[in-house]
């Protein structure tokens, strides 16, 4: 078996996370190997709206060039639609300039990142499927893979192996506790020549029974994602067409409806599972997880790539700091530090994603959330600043989360409380606590926050 020695880092998977990680480390002088199953352009409906916080992370890493040259669309904020009403909220500003996200085809973005790393002299990309982590004396020393061009089994040796093989990771099991849950499915379609009600905005349609997302992905294309809160993936069938035409279509804003109907008629559906995977890594010398193989949240808030880029900047800076690597103990300490420190930066992204999805499934909380943000000012701007990943303050997030619940209670008991209204309010508050508690606990909270939520757990 041929052995290629020896890289500083070997990355499994040149997806959004692995690709950007290779770019950041390679640009900063590390010798990087990347093993990627297929370098061909993929058509997947993942990672298509990058929040401003993710754009900022790319800028901080000096990688903003990867956002150019493939028709990515600036996204300036969100429009919210419920029943016949709607309103929009812009992203925050910094130094007087509006922060913007980007909408794009994931496959096109990925090819741009790959083109970037293929041009870096100290990044070597091997096309093939990684099959096994190679170990010596309890330490991961490299990766076994089957080369695509000739089906030969080969080994790449590296001081550190970074696993970023995505949501269906085959290496996660040995490197984390691997607790995963499918929260729902997204059915995606491309809407052609759709004139969005708010140009260059993401659109959240607070539909029944579940939300839909709409955002631009190129000059002429708009993505729609329709949530299916079912245990089974939706399949193309007369029932599905009936559901799209008679349950979802009537809730579409009139400007979107014609292109929605045309897309249903065309029938090019793509379906993806939406996972919740809290980060529960098991430290293994010589290896670490990053990207979706480490941590996933509901894609409703489009936070996945931003969380990954935040981790890459965090771990990347630490590795660049200790480079050239002198001994493996320092590398291992760096990985441990990364695992410990990452919650602080990504907790708001993770909590918000699944908390908002939980809110959308509870009729009273959903109405309260829409009404709360419709008031504008700080009620809208601070939550959207958290959504954009510009603000990463967990306490602020929890303040708004519970303020939504109390706003809803205020609306329910108006003009005066009755026993049934009090009962309904109690149930709403209990749901709010039950939605957010486990999500907070996943994020390594402070002792005070942990205690407060434990007490809330006893009360409700």
Ligand X SMILES: Cc1cc2nc3c(=O)[nH]c(=O)nc-3n(C[C@H](O)[C@H](O)[C@H](O)COP(=O)(O)OP(=O)(O)OC[C@H]3O[C@@H](n4cnc5c(N)ncnc54)[C@H](O)[C@@H]3O)c2cc1C
Q: Considering only CA atoms, which of 439, 268, 417, 281 is closest in space to residue 347?
A: 439
Stretch that binds ligand X, among 301-309, 329-337, 390-398, 450-458 (CB under 6 A): 301-309
Nearest to ligand X of 14, 440 (CB atom): 14
Could you tell me the two tokens for 440? 């907070």
Stretch that binds ligand X, among 82-90, 164-172, 248-256, 315-323 (CB under 6 A): 164-172
For residue 225, give every residue at least 6 positions away whose Cβ sits within 8 Å of its Cβ, in sequence order, or none. 45, 186, 187, 188, 212, 213, 214, 299
With binding defined as CB under 6 A, does residue 289 bind ligand X? no
Nearest to ligand X of 49, 352 (CB atom): 49
Tell me how far CA of residue 448 lies from CA of 10, 373, 453, in angstroms: 39, 28, 9
With binding defined as CB under 6 A, does residue 292 bind ligand X? yes
With binding defined as CB under 6 A, does residue 12 bind ligand X? yes
The minimum distance between CB 101 and ligand X, in angstroms, equals: 9
Contacting ligand X (CB under 6 A), which of 274, 334, 388, 431?
Answer: 274
With binding defined as CB under 6 A, does residue 303 bind ligand X? yes
Enumerate residues 175-234 that contact ligand X by CB under 6 A. 186
With binding defined as CB under 6 A, does residue 161 bind ligand X? no
The minimum distance between CB 113 and ligand X, in angstroms, equals: 10
CA distance 385 to 77: 10
Could you tell me the two tokens for 53? 């916080």
> Residues touching ligand X: how many (CB under 6 A)?
36
Helix, strand, coil content of the chain in percent (nearest 5): 45, 25, 30
With binding defined as CB under 6 A, does residue 288 bind ligand X? no
With binding defined as CB under 6 A, does residue 61 bind ligand X? no
Secondary structure class of 67 (helix, strand, coil): helix
Fill in the per-residue mask, 31 to 60: x = in contact with ligand X (CB under 6 A), - = not in contact: ----xxxx------xxxxxx----------
Beta bridge partners of 224: 189, 214
The minimum distance between CB 365 and ligand X, in angstroms, equals: 23
With binding defined as CB under 6 A, does residue 408 bind ligand X? no
Angle, helices 16-27 vs 304-321, to 10°: value is 30
The minimum distance between CB 378 and ligand X, in angstroms, equals: 25
The minimum distance between CB 234 and ligand X, in angstroms, equals: 13
Three-class SS of 289-340: ECHHHCCECCHHHCCHHHHHHHHHHHHHHHHHHCCCCCCHHHHHHHHHHHHH
With binding defined as CB under 6 A, does residue 383 bind ligand X? no
With binding defined as CB under 6 A, does residue 299 bind ligand X? yes
With binding defined as CB under 6 A, does residue 308 bind ligand X? yes
In terms of C-beta density within 10 A (0-12 exposed, 13-18 middle, 19 or more buried), how is residue 143 classed?
buried
> In b/e form, how buried is each residue of 413-447, taking b as 16+ CB within 10 angstroms?
eeeeeeeeeeebbeebbebbbebbbebbebbbbee
CA distance 439 to 349: 11
CA distance 18 to 261: 37
Nearest to ligand X of 313, 367 (CB atom): 313
The minimum distance between CB 212 and ligand X, in angstroms, equals: 13
Nearest to ligand X of 299, 408 (CB atom): 299
Enumerate residues 238-267 that contact ligand X by CB under 6 A. none
Enumerate residues 326-355 that contact ligand X by CB under 6 A. none
Beta bridge partners of 78: 89, 202
How many residues are present in the chain? 460
Binding site for ligand X (CB under 6 A): 12-18, 35-38, 45-50, 129-130, 164-167, 170, 186, 272, 274, 291-292, 299, 302-306, 308
């Amino acid at each position: 078996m041929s052995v290629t020695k020896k890289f500083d880092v070997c990355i499994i998977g040149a997806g959004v996370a692995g690709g950007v990680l290779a770019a950041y480390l390679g640009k900063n002088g590390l010798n990087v190997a990347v093993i990627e199953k297929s370098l061909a352009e993929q058509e997947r409906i993942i990672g298509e709206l990058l929040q401003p916080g993710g754009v900022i992370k790319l800028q901080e890493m000096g990688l903003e060039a990867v956002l150019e040259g493939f028709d990515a669309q600036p996204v300036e904020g969100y429009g919210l639609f419920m029943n016949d009403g709607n309103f929009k909220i812009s992203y925050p500003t910094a130094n007087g300039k509006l922060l913007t996200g980007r909408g794009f085809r994931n496959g096109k973005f990925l090819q741009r990142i790959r083109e970037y790393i293929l041009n870096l002299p100290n990044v070597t990309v091997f096309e093939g499927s990684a099959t096994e982590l190679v170990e010596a004396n309890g330490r991961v020393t490299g990766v076994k893979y089957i080369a695509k061009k000739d089906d030969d089994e080969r080994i790449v040796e590296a001081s550190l192996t970074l696993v970023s093989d995505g949501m269906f990771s085959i290496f996660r099991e040995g490197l984390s506790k691997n607790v995963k849950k499918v929260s729902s499915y997204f059915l995606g379609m491309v809407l052609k020549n759709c004139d969005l009600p708010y140009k260059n905005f993401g659109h959240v349609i607070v539909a029944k029974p579940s939300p839909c997302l709409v955002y631009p992905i190129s000059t002429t294309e708009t993505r729609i994602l329709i949530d299916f809160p079912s245990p089974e993936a939706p399949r193309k069938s007369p029932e599905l067409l009936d559901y799209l035409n008679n349950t979802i279509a009537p809730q579409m804003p009139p400007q979107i409806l014609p292109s929605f109907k045309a897309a249903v008629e065309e029938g090019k559906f793509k379906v993806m599972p939406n996972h919740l995977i809290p980060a529960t890594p098991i430290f293994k010398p010589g290896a670490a997880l990053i990207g979706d193989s480490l941590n996933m949240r509901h894609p409703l808030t489009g936070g996945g790539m931003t969380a990954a880029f935040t981790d890459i900047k965090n771990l990347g800076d630490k590795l660049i700091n200790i480079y050239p690597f002198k001994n493996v103990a320092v590398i291992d300490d760096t990985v441990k530090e990364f695992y410990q420190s990452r919650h602080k930066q990504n907790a708001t992204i993770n909590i918000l994603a699944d908390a908002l999805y939980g809110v959308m499934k509870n009729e009273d909380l959903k109405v309260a959330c829409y009404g709360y943000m419709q008031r504008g000012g700080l009620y809208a701007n601070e939550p959207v600043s958290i959504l954009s990943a510009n603000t990463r303050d967990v306490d602020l997030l929890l303040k708004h989360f519970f303020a939504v619940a109390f706003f809803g209670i205020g609306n329910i008991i108006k003009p005066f409380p009755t026993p049934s209204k009090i009962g309904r309010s109690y149930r709403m508050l209990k749901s709010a606590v039950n939605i957010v508690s486990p999500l907070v606990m996943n994020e390594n909270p402070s002792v005070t926050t942990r205690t407060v939520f434990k007490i809330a757990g006893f009360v409700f």
